[in-house]
């Protein structure tokens, strides 16, 4: 026994941990967040997506400047009619046009690509053999992917605020429909709620993309699958015959944040939206972890 210990010590050239690991190895220190952030950041799709999100407000500004004056006055004020009223109106408009699809794609990309692309590059097996415990690998990747998703969802309205301020000025908010005006400073905290809600409502997309990401070696499949679910959910949402069942569709409450910008803010719909979103995403993420734990890595 002592012989065996002695020889192994000689081999390793130092003291061995109880678990038999190499010196300096600790499961809790594997794959630090900073490392994963750097690994993902230099990817072209990451940079391209952020570039698009940051450029979109400016593209919209140009579009409104070019098309100024050609719009017909209408009876009801839509959110697009009011976009040039001021920075906050513009940011709300930018969020409303991008929340339905662009942000969905961005979130699906960051969360669906994260594990599947490692499998695709074959680097996943070396990370797991490093070894990074599977739960920890998934956790760190999820945290970083959610971080990128959050940055994507937040950067668009913030850039829209900046672009809107420069282009249309920092004015009070005019509400779609009635055209009432609310003070900008009064709306600003609510706008924070709006951004937060926009983020939470993307949880389902993120969780589904993540689940697909651990299930497939094809990044495109994971991203496409999550976006496809959103499309199907949107289609089902249009079937009024489903009645109140539609309230449980993952995308049903996605526009509820508009209530926060009404003269009397309403939070009921957003609470329901958060409930539905958390419900789906918790289950999906749990399935992702469970699946990854049991998975045979053959990529």
Partner 1 sequence: MKLAGRPTTWIAVAAVLVIGVATWLLWPSAPQVRAQDQMIQVLDGPGDDQRVTLDASFFPPAGGGRAPVVLLAHGFGGSKQSVREPALRLAQEGYAVLTWSARGFGRSTGQIALNSPDYEVKDVRQLVDWVARRPEVQLDASGDPRVGIAGGSYGGAIALMAAAHDSRIDAIVPQITWYDLADALFPNATGQGPQSGVFKRMWAGLFFSRGGPTSAGPAIGAVTGTAADPGSGPASPGDRAARPAVPLTAEEVRCGRFLPEICDMYQQVAETGQATASAVETLRRSSPISVPGKIKIPTLLLQGQRDSLFPLGQADANAKAIAATGAPVDVAWFDGGHDGGNGEVDWIHEETLGWFDHYLKKSAGTGQANSAFTVTRDGGRDPGTRRPVQLHATAARYAGLSGTGQTPVPISGPEQQVASPPGGSPSSISAVPGFGGLAGGSATLNLSVDMAGQSAGFDSAPLTAPLQVTGSSTVKVRVSVEPGGSSPADTTGAAGGGSETTTAAGSEDAGGGSETTAGGSGDAGGGSDTIAGGSGDGKAGQRDVTLFAKLYDVAGDAQAPILPEGLVAPVKITVPEGGSAEATVTLPAIDHGFDVGHRLRVAFTTTDLGYSTPAAPAVYKIGLASPAVTVPTYAALRTPSTAPAWWTWVLPLVSLVAAAVLLLAGRRRMRDDHDPALDSVPLRINGLTKAYGNGELAVNDLSFTVEHGQVLGLLGPNGAGKTTTLRMLMGLIHPDAGEVRIFGHRVVPGAPVLSRLGSFVEGPGFLPHLSGRDNLELYWKATGRPTEDAHFAEALEIAGLGKALERAVRTYSQGMRQRLAIAQAMLGLPDLLVLDEPTNGLDPPQIREMREVLIRYAAQGRTVIVSSHLLAEVEQTCSHVVVMHRGRLITAGTVSELLRSRTPVNGAGPRLEDVFLDLIGENA
Please, which of residues 10-39 interact with partner 1 by CB under 8 A? 10-12, 17-32, 35-36, 38-39
CA 257, CA 99: separation in Å to the nearest integer?
Answer: 11
Considering only the stretches 51-59, 146-154, 210-218, 248-256, report the one whose residues sit in contact with partner 1 under the rule CB under 8 A.
Answer: 248-256
The reply on whether position 264 binds partner 1 by CB under 8 A is yes
Taking every pair of Cα atoms in the chain, the longest distance, rounded to a whole number of angstroms, is 92
Strands annotated E in 105-262: 173-174, 181-182
Give the burial class of 248: count Cβ atoms within 10 A of its Cβ; 0-12 exposed, 13-18 middle, 19 or more buried.
middle
Q: Are 180 and 261 in contact (CB under 8 A)?
A: no
The reply on whether position 282 binds partner 1 by CB under 8 A is yes
Tokens 């979109």 appear where?
A: 56
The reply on whether position 78 binds partner 1 by CB under 8 A is no
Q: Find the shortest distance in angstroms from Cβ 62 to partner 1.
A: 28
Q: Find the shortest distance in angstroms from Cβ 58 to partner 1.
A: 26
Considering only the stretches 55-63, 102-110, 163-171, 257-265, report the one whose residues sit in contact with partner 1 under the rule CB under 8 A.
Answer: 257-265
Among 57, 112, 164, 273, binds partner 1 (CB under 8 A): 273
Among 92, 159, 256, 261, binds partner 1 (CB under 8 A): 256
How many residues sit close enough to partner 1 to count as binding (CB under 8 A)?
Answer: 92
Dihedral sign from CA coordinates of 269, 111, 35, 24: positive
Residues 146-165 close enough to bind partner 1 by CB under 8 A: none
The reply on whether position 275 binds partner 1 by CB under 8 A is yes
Residues 171-200 close enough to bind partner 1 by CB under 8 A: 177-181
Does an H or E element contain 138, and which? helix 134-168
CA 129, CA 121: separation in Å to the nearest integer?
Answer: 15
The reply on whether position 285 binds partner 1 by CB under 8 A is yes
Among 55, 59, 126, 189, binds partner 1 (CB under 8 A): 126
Q: Which is nearer to partner 1, 38 or 63 (CB)?
A: 38
Q: Find the shortest distance in angstroms from Cβ 179 to partner 1.
A: 6
The reply on whether position 8 binds partner 1 by CB under 8 A is yes
Would you call 182 helix, strand, or coil by DSSP? strand
- Could you give the count of Cα atoms lying within 13 Å of 265 in the half-sphere of its Cβ? 15
Alpha helices per DSSP H over the chain: 2-12, 33-41, 44-66, 87-99, 102-121, 123-129, 134-168, 184-201, 203-215, 219-237, 268-294
Q: Are 37 and 137 in contact (CB under 8 A)?
A: no
Q: Find the shortest distance in angstroms from Cβ 35 to partner 1.
A: 5
Q: Find the shortest distance in angstroms from Cβ 215 to partner 1.
A: 14
Q: Which is nearer to partner 1, 145 or 258 (CB)?
A: 258
Cα dihedral value 159, 265, 259, 252, nearest 10 = 120
Considering only the stretches 152-160, 209-217, 219-227, 254-262, report the one whose residues sit in contact with partner 1 under the rule CB under 8 A.
Answer: 254-262
Copy the structure tokens of residue 263: 């003269």
């Amino acid at each position: 026994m002592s012989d065996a210990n002695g020889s192994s010590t000689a081999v390793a050239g130092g003291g061995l941990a109880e678990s038999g690991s190499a010196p300096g190895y600790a499961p809790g220190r594997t794959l630090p967040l900073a490392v994963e952030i750097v690994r993902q950041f230099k990817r072209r799709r990451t940079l391209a997506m952020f570039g698009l999100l940051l450029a979109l407000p400016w593209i919209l500004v140009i579009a409104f400047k070019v098309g100024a004056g050609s719009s017909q006055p209408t009876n009801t004020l839509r959110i697009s009619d009011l976009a040039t009223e001021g920075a906050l109106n513009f940011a709300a408009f930018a969020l409303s046009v991008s929340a339905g699809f662009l942000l969905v794609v961005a979130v699906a990309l960051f969360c669906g690509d994260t594990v599947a692309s490692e499998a695709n590059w074959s680097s996943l097996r070396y990370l797991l053999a490093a070894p990074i415990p599977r739960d920890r690998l998934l956790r760190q990747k999820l945290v970083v992917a959610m971080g990128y998703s959050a940055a994507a969802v937040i950067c668009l309205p913030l850039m829209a605020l900046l672009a809107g301020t420069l282009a249309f000025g920092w004015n009070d908010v005019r509400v779609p429909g009635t055209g009432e005006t609310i003070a900008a400073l009064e709306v600003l905290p609510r706008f924070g709620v709006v951004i937060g809600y926009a983020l939470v409502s993307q949880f389902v997309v993120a969780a589904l993309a993540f689940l697909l990401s651990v299930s497939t070696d094809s990044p495109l499949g994971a991203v496409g699958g999550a976006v496809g679910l959103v499309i199907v959910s949107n289609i089902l949402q249009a079937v009024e015959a489903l009645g109140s069942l539609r309230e449980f569709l993952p995308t049903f409450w996605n526009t509820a944040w508009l209530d926060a910008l009404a003269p009397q803010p309403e939070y009921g719909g957003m609470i329901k939206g958060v409930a539905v979103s958390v419900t789906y995403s918790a289950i999906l993420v749990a399935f992702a972890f469970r699946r990854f734990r049991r998975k045979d890595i053959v990529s």
